[in-house]
Amino acid sequence: MYKVLVIDDDTAIQELLRRVLQKQGYEVTVASDGEEGLEKAKLLQPALIICDWVMPRLTGIEVCRKVKANPTLSTTFFILLTSLGTVQNRVKGLDAGADDFISKPIEMNELKARVRAGLRLHQLSQDLQTQKQLLEKELAEAADYVRSLLPESITEPVKIESLFIPSRQLGGDCFDYYWLDENYLAIYLLDVAGHGLRAALPSVSVLNLLRSKAIPHINYHQPSDVLRALNNTYQITNENDKYFTIWYGVYNRSQGQLIYSSAGHPPAILVSGNGELTQANKLKTLGMPIGMFPDATYMDDFCIVEKFSSLYIFSDGVYEIPQPGGDIWGIDNYINLILECSRNGFCNLDKILDYVRELNGSKVFSDDFSLLKVVFG
């Protein structure tokens, strides 16, 4: 049984509407002014409200605004009862959130029809809200699953910490690090084009594929070979229009050497030295994003890693922060931030995140924010 609330300071109108609507099978409650009507609306959560426009204390327009501003009442269908028939008045009512109007004197058949139509729309809104809640619950469960796949921080023999903040519940970024054997550490970060579920699925697929070493006949110690195999596996097709960038490196613990390859991804930043002598080197190789071209080539490069150096691997969402005037904060400013923090002897990921959030002006980023820090000690 739908609940209907009638708000009118005219007791004759109250009684008329109550009797007519009760005969239609609705549960009807009446209120004599706007303040009483608001209190009853919050208590009863009616499906539909019929409210007089001109009333003492609170007008119908004011009641409408307050009802529509209340999250628990936002789907309530609101009908303004009015003798004000000008276009300007109706525009004013619509701008306040009114869903429909009934003119005085009231024509009963029109009233019944408008109430039926309003309740149908209310039910549709309720159904959509229910589906939205179910979808949000499923997305939250999927996001928890993705987070459960990401590796935990480690402290020995190298220290690795991470930040993963998708722009939505699900994002296209993903990363992993694990020992190929007791001497070689593989570490990578990838960024699938787009956001949401369609971007999260390929990223999880790549993580599971690499972690299980399911691609045959490749050398997981050679980054370019891994990227070549991924490019052959994840080519863009009519069914799959997603490509991704990736930075992949392998650290040789005994030799202190890092070999790496990248596919359209931002460079990793290797910070070494102490104090004013601290310097940053960009680690990047030429290579198109994975999936764009079947004949794309990838190459390796390497560097010697000094003791206590730090390696930062990240997605472009870390530094592509819009600024007033339309500019982008940019990677050079991001590298300068890392250097400044390192020279001061304190560069943890939370400090970087706080700084970037302040630049962004919001805790919610327009792109996925993923950041790895590896300290070689």
**Chain centroid to CA 310:** 30
Identify any residues that bridge with 249 across adjacent strands, giving them in sequence order: 187, 260
Look up residue 247 and give its amino acid.
W
Based on its alpha-carbon atoms, the radius of gyration of the chain, rounded to whole angstroms, reads 30
- Cis amide linkage into residue 105, ω under 30° from 0: yes
Identify any residues that bridge with 167 across adjacent strands, giving them in sequence order: none
Identify any residues that bridge with 78 across adjacent strands, giving them in sequence order: 49
Q: How far is CA 174 from CA 136, 164, 220, 369, 370, in A?
A: 21, 8, 18, 10, 8
**Chain centroid to CA 37:** 37
Q: For position 86, what pLDDT does the model report?
A: 67
Q: For position 51, what pLDDT does the model report?
A: 93
> Rounded distance, CA 112 to CA 225, Å?
72
CB 3 within 8 A of CB 49: no
Tokens of 129: 């809200």
**Burial (CB count within 10 angstroms: exposed 0-12, middle 13-18, buried 19+), residue 254:** exposed
Tokens of 319: 């530094």
CB 67 within 8 A of CB 40: no
pLDDT along the chain (377 residues), means of 10: 93 93 95 93 95 88 92 91 74 84 88 93 90 84 85 91 84 92 96 84 92 92 97 83 93 96 96 84 96 94 93 94 89 92 82 90 86 92
> Rounded distance, CA 184 to CA 33, Å?
76
> Rounded distance, CA 371 to CA 161, Å?
8
For 52-70, the pLDDT digits (tens) are: 988 888 888 999 999 999 9
Tokens of 314: 């990240």
Q: For position 16, what pLDDT does the model report?
A: 93
Total Cβ atoms within 10 A of residue 125: 16
CB 136 within 8 A of CB 350: no
**Burial (CB count within 10 angstroms: exposed 0-12, middle 13-18, buried 19+), residue 334:** buried
> Rounded distance, CA 73 to CA 97, Å?
12
DSSP tag of 185: E
Q: For position 238, what pLDDT does the model report?
A: 67
Q: For position 85, what pLDDT does the model report?
A: 63
Task: Let me know the angle formed at the C-alpha of 129 by 126 and 134, rounded to the nearest 5 degrees.
Answer: 130
> Rounded distance, CA 148 to CA 131, Å?
26
> Rounded distance, CA 305 to CA 174, Å?
24
> Helices 349-360 and 331-343: crossing angle, nearest 10°?
140
Phi first, then psi: what are they for 328, rounded to 5°?
Answer: -110, 140
Beta carbons within 8 Å of 339's beta carbon, 6+ residues apart: 271, 278, 279, 280
